[in-house]
């Protein structure tokens, strides 16, 4: 990480033979993304404040990397929250069998 320039974003991804992907994202403590977030207009900051107020008491101080983690968790939870089509079909078959 010491070789990375301050404004950059480090992305490392591994694709395994079984098709699974694993990745890492890192930023420097003094990165350009946090500086750009600080320069946003008040209206856009208000939207971001509302978006992240459920995970911290100070959403305006939330770092870019923490916002990225919060958004990826939301995507992951939405992806696994519902039943897949095969699971839905199986539930219907179980229900019909019970009738």
Domain that holds residue 62: 9-98
- Residue 82 covered by a domain: yes
> Domain total for the chain?
1
Q: CB 45: neighbour CB atoms within 10 A? A: 15
Read off the tokens for 58: 């100070």
- Residue 34 covered by a domain: yes
**Residue range 51-80, pLDDT digits in tens:** 998 888 898 999 998 888 888 766 555 444
pLDDT band at 84 (very low <50, low <70, confident <90, very high): low
The kind and range of the H/E element at 89 are helix 85-98
**Residue range 4-55, pLDDT digits in tens:** 556 678 888 777 777 777 777 888 888 889 999 999 999 999 999 999 988 8
Q: How far apart are CA 96 and CA 91, in angstroms?
A: 9
């Amino acid at each position: 990480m010491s070789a990375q320039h301050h404004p950059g974003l480090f992305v490392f991804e591994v694709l395994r033979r079984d098709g699974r992907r694993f990745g890492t994202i890192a930023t420097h403590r003094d990165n350009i993304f946090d500086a750009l977030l600080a320069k946003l207009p008040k209206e856009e900051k208000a939207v971001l404040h509302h978006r992240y107020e459920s995970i911290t008491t100070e959403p305006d101080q939330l770092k870019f990397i923490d916002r990225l983690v919060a958004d990826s968790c939301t995507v992951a939870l939405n992806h696994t929250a519902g039943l897949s089509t095969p699971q839905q079909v199986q539930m219907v078959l179980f229900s019909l069998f019970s009738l």
